[in-house]
Amino acid sequence: MSPKSTPPVARRPLIVGPPQGRRYNMGRMHAVFFADKAETGSRYSVSEWWLQPRTKGPGVHSHPEDHIFCVIAGTLSLLIAGERSDAPRGSYALIPGGTQHDFENHGEVECGFISINAPAGFEEQMPSIVAWFKDNPLGEVTDA
C-alpha cells in the first residue's frame, strides 16, 4: 500500500430481496435504495427508480456524484447536457458528476431504471428530495 492509499473499509456481502430496501415515495415517482454509504464503504449507492406512465421529471439539475442508469422497464426519456434521447429497456447512460440532466417517462407503461451513484452520499439528500416533491408534485407529460 502506498503512503497515499486509504486502507480498505471492511464490507460484508449483501443480498437485498424485492420487499426490502429503503423506499421513498414522491407522488408519480418512487425510489428504493438497496445499498449505500454504510454498506459500500462510501464508494457508491444502488437504487431503483420508477416513474408512472407519462410522468414529467424533476427538472434539469446536477449532482456532484456520477450516475449510471440502467433502464429495466419501459423507455426513459433523458436530457443530458442539453441533448434529449430515449433509452429503452436494456440501455445504459453515464452522467458524469456536475452534468445537467433530467429524466421523464413519455411512454404509456411504467418506466424503471437502476441508478448507481459514485461516490455514495446522494442517498443522504432523499428526505429533503421527498419533501421538495411534496410541495412540487410531478406533472403529466402532455406532449411527447
- Count of CB atoms situated within 10 Å of the CB of 105: 29
Residue ranges of domains in the chain: 22-135
User: CATH for 22-135?
Assistant: 2.60.120.10
| pLDDT digit string, tens, across residues 2-47 | 556 666 667 788 888 887 899 999 999 999 999 999 899 999 999 9
Per-residue confidence (pLDDT) for residue 18, from 0 to 100? 80
Question: Looking at the predicted structure, is the pLDDT value of residue 116 above 60?
Answer: yes
User: How high does pLDDT run on average in the chain?
Assistant: 92
For range 107-111, the mean pLDDT? 98
Residue 118 binned pLDDT confidence (cut-offs 50, 70, 90): very high
Give bridge partners of residue 118 from the DSSP assignment.
66
pTM of the model: 0.89
Give the distance from CA 139 to its chain's centroid.
Answer: 18
Question: Looking at the predicted structure, is the pLDDT value of residue 60 above 90?
Answer: yes
For range 59-81, the mean pLDDT? 97
